[in-house]
Amino acid sequence: MNTTPPGAADDYVPHLREHRAPVEPVRPVRAVGSAAAPPMRLADEFFYLAHDDQSGRPRLFESATAHGLAAALLAELWWEGRITFVGRHVRVTDPSPPTDWLQHLVLDRLAAEPRHTATRTWLAFFGTTAYEQVATRMWQVGLVQPRQVGRLWRQRIVYVPADMNTAAWSWARLSYQLRNYQRLNAFDVALAGLALHTQLDPILLDGAPQAARAFLRRQVEQAPMPLRELLADLGAVVGGAVLSHRTT
């Protein structure tokens, strides 16, 4: 998969003090003869990042997860060259249907409502369905399994990773690279940006020095402008939701 969208900067190499590195995470592999792993999409990896890799329970409050997944779906379409973000607005640049059914669904909705272009409006709209839709897409390819939890009168569905190592890989990879000041590729910059703007970074970098958190912010600031536009709106929406939650 091409992980370098148009306009990605590649000349930024920060110089920060080194610290003792944790053991490098080992990428999960499949046994010889097993089926090939499906390609991971940005919303799928953020779903893993936002949930415990064993129990499937959320690491974020519901609104942050929902808006983060909505932003990830929009970022997937930008990655595919179907949309862009200019001045806090979404612009459809290519309405031809993507091969992925969920991307197709999101793009069709954007194209059908040309009068509504504010990015925050679409984050709120897609945030109402993104969790179930992304979970369904992941379930269809065997990445998660639905499970009922809670007492009889308060049961709910959580989506438990089918393979703990696969689920943990996004977290381990990102955490390791940030703690060791390793330059992120374009895909991981987007994933790190979603973590930063949904306020997941204090958990992701728990125990890391402040320099690692500054490094995360600087990496995200090097993202292409359309992605930075999307992430800025995501941060504003999540920040407003956090403030509302704390004052109610």
pTM: 0.84
Residue at 89 is within a domain: yes
Residue at 11 is within a domain: no
Which domain CATH number covers 235? 1.10.3630.10
Residue at 235 is within a domain: yes
Residue at 129 is within a domain: yes
Kindly report, residue by residue over 140-158, the tens digit of the pLDDT. Answer: 999 999 998 767 677 788 9
Residue at 188 is within a domain: yes
| H runs (alpha helix) in the chain | 42-49, 62-79, 101-112, 119-127, 130-140, 164-179, 186-197, 201-204, 210-221, 225-247
Of 233, 224, 159, nearest to 194 (Cα)? 233
Task: State the residue range of the domain holding 66.
Answer: 42-247
Q: pLDDT confidence of 5, banded at 50, 70, 90?
A: very low
Place of tokens 């609104």: 63
- 154: which DSSP letter? G
How many residues in total does the chain contain? 248
Residue at 14 is within a domain: no
Name residues whose C-beta falls within 8 Å of residue 32's C-beta, 6 or more positions apart in sequence. none
Number of domains in the chain: 1
Rounded to 5 degrees, what angle do the CA atoms 14, 187, 66 make? 115
The confidence score (pLDDT) of residue 245 equals: 52
